[in-house]
Amino acid sequence: VSDASGCSMIALLHTGAAKFPPNLLSRSRQAVSLLFPAGVLERFCSIVSRKLASHGFGASMAAMSSFPPQRYHYFLVLDFEATCDKPQIHPQEIIEFPILKLNGRTMEIESTFHMYVQPVVHPQLTPFCTELTGIIQGMVDGQPSLQQVLERVDEWMAKEGLLDPSVKSIFVTCGDWDLKVMLPGQCQYLGLPVADYFKQWINLKKAYSFAMGSWPKNGLLDMNKGLNLQHIGRPHSGIDDCKNIANIMKTLAHRGFIFKQTSKPF
């Protein structure tokens, strides 16, 4: 055994969790016992676990080998909240900008970017907007502008190693609105460039429909219900929605689903 996945396999043989025929399982256990005296295997796997943890791989070895590898090193889960009213105001402006960095190997959250944004065209939030999103006026007053937040996103991406050409990452949203409509529309209105990393993404609704065979008409609520998951936090909170997206992705990955880009190239 020379790696973590080997430790996981042997651990499975010892626990009987692997689905082998009883006679094969018995012989496999005997072979493992002959190869590794009592305590040696456990000490070896413990050393490997500590080494992996020191390099940022904190998930258990069994969990890491329990679902197929994804195409991306990291998924960047994003869900904007924006100014709104009935009838809708124009232009809409982003007021909450959350991103969760999800490790593509473990499907665990490794880092969080979360900022509120000061709207400039319609600086006063409507009662409808506050009721829908839970964002009150004091949460956006005095906050950075969208341009400043985008600069901080870029700094965070660089700090997290996500701008390294050898690192494959992609944004994930619940629908196409965030990165197809909202961000490019507001950037165009303000005369701001849109970074290339925002120009390709995975629409979780499409991924869910590929995996489960049904379209989630009510978005996260339907996906959580379809997967028997508890909804996290309050609907239309950007950061809570991101946590729900991440939880749904983790569940689908453990079921063997491989996530692929759904957006068309710009």
Of 68, 80, 38, the closest CA to residue 179 belongs to: 80
| 93 carries an active-site annotation | no
Residue 98: exposed, middle, or buried by beta-carbon count in 10 A (0-12, 13-18, 19+)?
buried
3-state secondary structure of 115: strand
* Tokens found for residue 220: 């996260």
Tokens at residue 93, please? 């402006």
Q: How far apart, in whole angstroms, are the C-alpha atoms of residue 243 and residue 99?
A: 10
- For 19, residues 6+ apart whose C-beta sits below 8 A from its C-beta are none
Tell me, yes or no, if 81 is annotated catalytic. yes
Alpha helices in the chain (DSSP H): 4-15, 22-35, 40-54, 61-64, 127-133, 137-140, 146-159, 183-190, 204-212, 220-226, 238-254
The one catalytic residue among 42, 73, 81, 108: 81
What own/partner pairs with CB < 8 Å and gap ≥ 24 does 148-155 have? Answer: 149/94, 149/97, 149/115, 149/117, 150/192, 150/195, 152/113, 152/115, 153/97, 153/99, 153/113, 153/195, 154/195
Catalytic residue among 93, 96, 160, 236: 236
Angle at the Cα of 219 (from 213 to 225), degrees rounded to 5? 70
- Residue 35 has φ and ψ, to the nearest 5°, of -75, -35
Pick from 210, 242, 249: which is nearest to 227 by CA? 249
The residues annotated with a catalytic role in the active site are 81, 236
